[in-house]
């Protein structure tokens, strides 16, 4: 087996049953498949919105493409990182090493976009929008990079994982304070009939972004195949919730807002899009 100090992630240390291995492949495959498929949904949705809101689903489509590619890479790496020995799927001691680090790299792109979608969807005015976006993005990127550094420590003694996990969590809390600031501005700024949306999106945001630190900490519970596969499942649930379902929620909000602001989509857009009238 591989040297724990060299391989970075626990995936490279644990043999999997064929059931666990197949489940891992399936989880990654469903994730990238869902992200790629929803590119079409978000592009079509943009046709139904007032021009100022079209960028919201377009940004979701960009996130779908970026995350889809990163998850496709994780899938191929998973397939290349194990060999069946007749009984179990063994992590290869030579050749490919599985890594979750690509996920963290990808978040550097997707997280700033996801955060910027909020003040755009809630129609904050230009100078405030830019300022608030920047103030969320700075702690978010620091959160990701400190977490990226820390996750390489999960196979050795766990002190590096824990120390950088705590530092990253401090940036997470700082980021959440800034996000709550945007939600506050959104509550003041939302039409009365949509006033419940910013608060609901805030709770949804907390519940779904909060899954990532749990996945990060999971190797604490031990080195087993169930932990390895369970973590890919948690990552996958978090990915689909924080990007895909979140994008649908924001799109529904701006669709209602477009209508309230008197925007009627062109007849042909309504005819070609199943999402048109609402």
152 is a site residue for ligand RET (CB under 6 A): no
Binding of residue 111 to ligand RET (CB under 6 A): yes
100 lies in the site for ligand RET, by CB under 6 A: no
258 binds ligand RET (CB under 6 A): no
From 48, 60, 110, 232, residue interacting with ligand RET (rule: CB under 6 A): 110
Confirm or reject binding of residue 147 to ligand RET (CB under 6 A). Answer: yes
In a 10 Å sphere around its CB, with 0-12 CB exposed, 13-18 middle and 19+ buried, how is residue 89 labelled?
buried
Stretch that binds ligand RET, among 23-31, 32-40, 127-135, 142-150 (CB under 6 A): 142-150
User: What's the per-residue H, E or C state across 68-89?
Assistant: HHHHHHHHHHHHHCEEECCCCE
CB of 188 to ligand RET, least distance (A): 25
243 forms part of the interface with ligand RET (CB under 6 A): yes
Q: Which stretch binds ligand RET (CB under 6 A): 12-20, 164-172, 183-191, 260-268?
A: 164-172
Please give the structure tokens belonging to residue 181.
Answer: 């600031």
Among positions 17, 90, 96, 169, the unique one binding ligand RET when judged by CB under 6 A: 169
Cα–Cα dist 254/246, whole Å: 12
Q: Which of residues 53-82 bind ligand RET (CB under 6 A)?
A: 67
CA quadruple 210, 107, 38, 251: dihedral positive or negative?
Answer: positive
Residues of this chain that interact with ligand RET (CB under 6 A) are 67, 107, 110-111, 114, 143-144, 147, 165, 168-169, 172, 209, 212-213, 216, 242-243
């Amino acid at each position: 087996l591989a040297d724990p100090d060299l391989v970075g992630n626990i995936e490279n240390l644990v043999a999997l049953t064929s059931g666990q291995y197949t489940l891992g492949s399936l989880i990654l495959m469903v994730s990238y498949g869902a992200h790629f498929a929803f590119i079409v949904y978000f592009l079509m949705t943009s046709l139904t919105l007032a021009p100022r809101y079209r960028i919201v689903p377009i940004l979701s489509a960009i996130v779908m493409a970026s995350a889809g590619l990163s998850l496709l890479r994780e899938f191929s790496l998973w397939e290349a990182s194990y060999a069946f020995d007749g009984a179990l799927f063994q992590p290869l001691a030579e050749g490919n090493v599985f890594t979750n680090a690509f996920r963290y790299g990808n978040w550097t792109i997707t997280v700033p976009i996801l955060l910027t979608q909020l003040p755009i969807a809630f129609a904050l005015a230009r100078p405030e929008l830019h300022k608030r976006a920047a103030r969320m993005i700075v702690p978010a990127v620091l959160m990701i990079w400190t977490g990226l550094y820390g996750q390489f420590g999960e196979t050795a003694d766990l002190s590096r994982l824990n120390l950088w996990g705590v530092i990253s969590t401090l940036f997470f809390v700082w980021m959440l304070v800034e996000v709550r600031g945007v939600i506050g501005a959104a509550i003041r700024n939302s039409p009365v009939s949509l006033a419940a949306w910013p608060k609901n999106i805030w709770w949804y945001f907390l519940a779904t972004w909060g899954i990532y630190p749990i996945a990060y900490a999971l190797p604490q519970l031990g080195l087993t195949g169930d932990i390895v596969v369970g973590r890919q499942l948690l990552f996958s649930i978090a990915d689909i919730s924080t990007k895909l379902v979140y994008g649908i929620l924001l799109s529904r909000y701006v669709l209602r807002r477009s209508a309230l602001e008197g925007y009627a989509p062109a007849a042909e857009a309504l005819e070609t899009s199943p999402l048109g009238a609402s």
